[in-house]
Amino acid sequence: MKRKIGVAVIGVGFWGRNHARVYSELEETELLAVCDIDAERAKNIAKQFGVKAYTETGKMLKREDIEAVSVCTWSTSLAKETMKALKAGKHVLVEKPMAANPKQAEVLIKTAEKEGLHLSVGFLMRFIPGVQYIKRAIEDKRIGELVCATAKRVSEWPERIGDIGVVKDLAIHDIDVARYLFGGDPIAVYAKTGNMKHKLFEDYAHIMLTFEGGRNAFIEANWLTPYKTRTLVVTGSQAIMKLDYITQELTIEDAKETVQPRIPWHEPLKLELQHFINCILGREKPLITGFDGLKALKIAEAALKSSKTCRLVKFKEW
């Protein structure tokens, strides 16, 4: 009989309830509890999955049968709730951005290392089968030498967002994918951001990341577009790969032909949470660690700084 990992979800709003659903579906997890500051919401989600509801994280984290948690609260409280869970001895998958600033992220990483716990960050895009296909194609030189990547992540403003701007909410996904596909960190970033409809935070951003060898990643993100688009175009010296994140369709074009590889559709969140559990069980090495969350956060903040100063921001060291 397979051992089941007892899990809980902190914050069961729009995205947290999906974590709860997937945990309830996985064979090797047992969803035991949910926690939310909204008592009615916590009660409703708990009733849906037949688990206990909490409104105070501290009480829930005292349970010894809970080994791992997903932290899906508002961005301003992600680091605080993650720290509570780590100090309670729980493995944590925290949604992005993992903290309000790099200093907070560094403290979380050090705490997880000290306690011997897994700390992962919710960079869901890496688990989309098409992204994995592109990663292998780049490594195998199937598109020649990697030249550049262009990502577009646009839609209307989501009502669930009220504490961060489009850079740390949307573009940070593509920042992480760029690091993953280019196999390293950028040496510089230049960005233009602004707010047209929202007073507190930027609602559009154009970001250019420069990597070694003059290779670049271009990212467009906004909350101004009346329709939802999530695309990635990777240009090589011999071919171009185009991925639609929503449909998961991948197209490869070269001088001779255009092909669409048969890649089975999978729910990326289910792949992500299963991988998290596999890492806890010692079956797999983490694809994403706290350091990935930290570096993506540093790049996001550098993009905001670049936009504010109208200057290229160079990374002297990582």
pLDDT digits (tens, 9 = 90+) for 9-46: 999 999 999 999 999 999 999 999 999 999 999 999 99
For residues 245 and 149, membership in a common domain is answered with yes
- Please tell me which residue, 199 or 146, carries the higher pLDDT value: 146
Q: What is the DSSP letter of 62?
A: T
For residues 71 and 204, membership in a common domain is answered with no
Beta-bridge partners for 149? 217, 234
Using the structure block, give the residue that is written with the tokens 């780590």. Answer: 86
Percent of the chain with pLDDT over 70: 98
Which of the listed residues 121, 139, 172 is the one where a domain comes to its end? 121
For residues 171 and 305, membership in a common domain is answered with yes
For residues 182 and 212, membership in a common domain is answered with yes
Residue 158: per-residue pLDDT: 74
Using the structure block, give the residue that is written with the tokens 């409104």. Answer: 55
The C-alpha atoms of residue 54 and residue 47 are separated, in whole angstroms, by 12
Q: Residues 109-128: pLDDT tens digits?
A: 999 999 999 999 999 999 99
The C-alpha atoms of residue 24 and residue 259 are separated, in whole angstroms, by 37
Residue 318 pLDDT > 60, yes or no? Answer: no
The closest alpha carbon to 74, from 9, 8, 13, belongs to 13
> How large is the average pLDDT for residues 199-222?
96
Domain limits at 225? 125-265+297-314
Beta strands across the sheet bearing 258-259: 258-259, 250-253, 240-244, 224-236, 146-156, 216-222, 204-210, 188-194, 313-314
Cα 82 to chain centroid distance, Å, stands at 15
Count of domains observed in the chain: 2
Amino acid letter, 289: T
> How large is the average pLDDT for residues 198-225?
96
In a domain, 279, yes or no: no
Residue 163: per-residue pLDDT: 82
Q: How many residues does the chain have?
A: 318
pLDDT band at 317 (very low <50, low <70, confident <90, very high): low
The C-alpha atoms of residue 188 and residue 209 are separated, in whole angstroms, by 6
Residue 172 contacts residue 296 (beta carbons within 8 Å): yes
In a domain, 44, yes or no: yes
Cis peptide before 97 (omega within 30 of 0): yes
